[in-house]
Structure 1
Amino acid sequence: MTNHRLPEDLTPADARGCADWFTRYTPFIQAETRRQIAYKRRMWPDVPDGAHAKYTNHTYPHILPDSDWRLNLFAPIAAQAEAYLRAENIEIHSEKANLRSSQFACLNVLFPLRLNLDAARAFLAPCLPGVRRVLSVEFEVTGNDDALAFMGDPPGGKRGANRTSIDAVVEWLNDTHDTPQTKPHCTFIEWKYTEEGFGSCGGYASKGNPNPRVCETLDPLKNPVASCYLASGASSRVRRNYWKHTPPTWLTALAGATGCPFRGPLYQLWRQRLLADHFASTGRYSSVNLVAVHWSANASLADVPPALRGAAQPKETVGQLWNRATGGFTELPIEALLRAYDDAPTSQLSEWREYVRERYGV
């Protein structure tokens, strides 16, 4: 067993490299890792360090023992949140014991608002223009079987795993005088905590991909379906319909990229936008849009990788590039949402507000 520690906590008996895991992080991730370690030590001083979900012979000070993962949830909603995830057959991520879990950060912040929709309206107002009433907040939303067929995602997936899943979906109204025929608006929320970027294409790095070099040279304007591993049909997992539903205008806007523009951080945003377009096509909603919520100090989310720089304008972020290419995408720091809530707080959520401040520094 390798017990990884913070650099200042190393002892002479520790193996060399036990702090390398920490020093290679960005400054923001280092700061949040320290925050979670301090929180763990303050709240549960007798709870030992837990093992990494994938590398089980390595322990880390910001991870709980797997049997204690429920401590990772805000205590007043822990039982309800777990019951919701299980009732909805939502995958509880393997990193559930990691105090930096983005899934659990999303639940800890938004699930209490699911139970208090008036407070949700105040908190979410910056990303719901003119919101008058929040109707619902759901998590790890994938849509119905029609959505699965539209996307071509693997048939064995579920909400939160092996499908295009939206971290949180909010249905809301902004009409002053709504009627039973009034269609709600729908906002997809992509939640980022300590991730260094938006999700990249697993097909590019897949062991099943016979020639990743094709991804590096693919021309999105010249029949990309014929070259894309994820659309190859080699198995049920690689019969994706993403290219089929991608408007040519998007591809033209991204044509300056080197190779496939979606093998990096635009991949996750691409899938989510396609799912949003499918939701819009059902006619159920007045509008469907996508918002990315993140911590303002997480600067690496903005970084445009070398392969995309030919498509980006000077000083453009990944999010700005995507919005210019497709429209309908907004980024908001979580601090802006909390400022909106703090302008109209409710005493019912005072414990939650203090928890978010202490746990996540916002």
Structure 2
Amino acid sequence: MKVYEIDGKIYRLPNELTDFQLQMYIHLINWKWAHLTQESGYFNHSPYDALLPDELKSQGYPLYRPIKERFLDHQQRFPFKSHKFFGHMASSQAACANLFLPLLEDPLIAAKVLGAVKTDLKSIATDHLDRGFRIEFWDEPDNVLNDHTNVSGTDADIAIAYYDHESNLNLWMIEHKLTEVEFTTCGGFKSLGRTPFHACAPASAILDNKNLCYYHSKCKFRYWDITVQATSPFDADRIREYVECPFKGGMNQLWRNLLLATSIETSPSPKWPYKKVYFSVVYHPRNDSLQPSINEFQKLIGYNDRFFAFSSEKLINRAKEINDPALSEWVRWYQELYYF
């Protein structure tokens, strides 16, 4: 923990923060102090001002109050785990729900707002998933990537089923980032079980012998099998250009999520009737730390249309144009909490 004194106020924060994270944490804490409580939460017996006390965490904060019951009902009917730090003001899981669930309360409004980003979206497919969406979505129970356990696995923060302008049923998987400086990196590279045999360089060697990847040979994950399939959006020749595995760093999470999207789109199972499956990243407009990985990933996949990234501000700006009292109140609340 590190103690900061800013504008005469004392803030107890994590030790290592980027400039954006520091600004965001200060803003979120000030909002918490003004609207919820000045009491801190605790982690490892130390107080942190961005954490909520247990009493407020048990009440579902920092969820937007009008969506709390919808969130809990969805979680009960389609079980998923709340993140360890859901009761953190900078919780990305809570922020994801706060961004999308107020829109999805009204499918007509959702289509108008989301269509500003997903331009082929005509209407929300309320006859699929849970009235058109799922939180922490993956291809349960198929587990085509073979990486899901009780504690880990590839999923999307939210998935939205929709009909396009040709009446095709599609799926849009979205990863939400708030203050994160990078996407999840390769756990295999960091694993204590990794041996010198598990070479992460050059990338061409892994393509020629997938067993060099710890995830493939030890964990039996199917990432590389799907990567080299004919239906894959990944070009093996582009991968070969990398001196070391391109998926060792931040592109690892993007790789896995796009593989999940590809697997669902090409699945013959009637459980996944989607003609096209897309994967996106939505990020805070001031968080530019993720851009290098996003740009490199788009280059790697040849700017394939199955992946794109956008700022949450695009949705907020579109919502402002719609004359609806409940929507306007949510926009005011969301901007006050997350923007500065």
Same fold (TM over 0.5): yes
Distance 1:230 1:206 in 2: 10
Question: What letter is aligned with 1:51?
Answer: Y
Residue 66 (structure 1) aligned with residue 54 (structure 2): yes
Partner of 1:171, secondary structure, is: strand
Task: Look up the match of 1:153.
Answer: 147
Aligned to 1:140: 136
Structure 2: distance between partners of 1:43 and 1:288: 39
Contact kept, 8 Å, 1:121 with 1:131, in 2: the verdict is: yes
**How many Å separate the matches in 2 of 1:325 and 1:121?**
25
Q: Quick check: which one's strand share is greater?
A: 2
CA distance in 1, matches of 2:36, 2:20: 24
**Counterpart check, 1:208 vs 2:212:** no
- Give the corresponding residue for 2:320: 342
Aligned AA (2:54): D
1:50 aligns with 2:41: yes
Shift of 1:267: 0.8
Q: Deviations over 1:126-179 (max 9, x none)?
A: 332232211212211111322x0x21114x33xxx5121111111111236x4x
Percent identity over the alignment is 23
CA 1:207–1:10: 2 relative to 1, 3 Å:
farther
Unmatched 5+ residue regions in structure 1? 305-315
Match among 306, 321, 325 for residue 328 of structure 1: 306
Pick closer, same or farther for the CA change 1:127–1:279 going to 2, 3 Å.
Answer: farther
Q: Distance in 1 between matches of 2:87 and 2:256?
A: 27
Q: Of the candidates 135, 152, 165, which is equivalent to residue 162 of structure 1?
A: 152
Contact 2:116–2:314 at 8 Å: present in 1 too? yes
Quick one: structure 1 residues 217 and 322, their matched pair in 2 at CA, closer, same or farther if it must change by over 3 Å?
closer
Residue 141 of structure 1 aligns to which amino acid in structure 2?
Answer: F
8 A contact 2:175–2:282 mirrored in 1: yes
Helix, strand or coil at the partner of 1:71: coil
| Aligned equivalents of 1:111, 1:220: Cα separation in 2 | 44
Q: How many aligned residue pairs are there?
A: 324
- Give the structure 2 partner of residue 355 of structure 1: 333
Partner of residue 162, structure 2: 172
2:224 corresponds to 1:243: yes
Which residue number corresponds to residue 93 of structure 1? 83
Residues 111 and 220 of structure 1: CA distance in aligned 2, closer, same or farther (over 3 Å): farther
The gaps in structure 2 that reach 5 residues or longer are: 126-131
Give the structure 2 partner of residue 261 of structure 1. Answer: 246
Distance 2:70 2:18 in 1: 34
1:21 corresponds in structure 2 to 14
Deviation per CA, 1:7-55: give whole Å up to 9, x if none: 33899xx9xxx97835x42222112111111111101234x21123xxx
Contact residue 162 and residue 169 of structure 2 kept, 8 A: yes
CA distance in 2, matches of 1:335, 1:145: 34
CA RMSD of aligned residues (A): 2.6
Question: If the length of structure 2 is used for normalisation, what is the TM-score?
Answer: 0.86
Q: Distance in 1 between matches of 2:290 and 2:42?
A: 27
- 8 A Cα contact 2:238 2:300, kept in partner: no
Alignment partner, residue 129 of structure 2: none
Give the match's secondary structure for 1:79.
Answer: helix
- Structure 1: which amino acid aligns with 2:102? P
Aligned with 1:277 (options 234, 252, 262): 262
Distance 2:111 2:313 in 1: 16
Measure, in 2, the Cα distance between the counterparts of 1:31 and 1:121.
33
Matched, 1:129 2:119: yes
Contact 1:302 1:319 in 2 (8 A): no
Structure 2 vs 1, CA of residues 73 and 220 (structure 1 numbering), >3 Å: closer, same or farther?
farther
The aligned counterpart of 1:102 is 92
Partners of 2:197 and 2:94 lie apart in 1 by 33
Distance (whole Å) between structure 1 residues aligned to residue 65 and residue 54 of structure 2: 17
Structure 2 letter corresponding to 1:29: Q
Structure 1 residues 224 and 97 mapped into 2: Cα distance closer, same or farther (>3 Å)? farther
Higher percent of residues as helix: 1
Q: CA deviation at 1:325?
A: 6.4
SS in 2 for 1:127: coil
Q: Deviation at 1:360? A: 0.8
State whether structure 2 residue 292 is matched by structure 1 residue 300.
no
**C-alpha deviations, 1:68-103, integer Å up to 9, x for none?**
222211112223312322331101010111110111
Q: Offset at 1:320?
A: 3.0
Distance 1:162 1:44 in 2: 32
Corresponding residue for residue 128 of structure 2:
none
Quote the offset at 1:66 in angstroms. Answer: 3.5
Q: Give the aligned residue type for 1:151.
A: L
Deviation at 1:190, TM superposition (A): 1.3
CA 1:10–1:86: 2 relative to 1, 3 Å = farther
For residues 250 and 122 of structure 2, what CA distance do their matches in structure 1 show? 33
Measured in 2, the distance between the counterparts of 1:125 and 1:153 equals 32
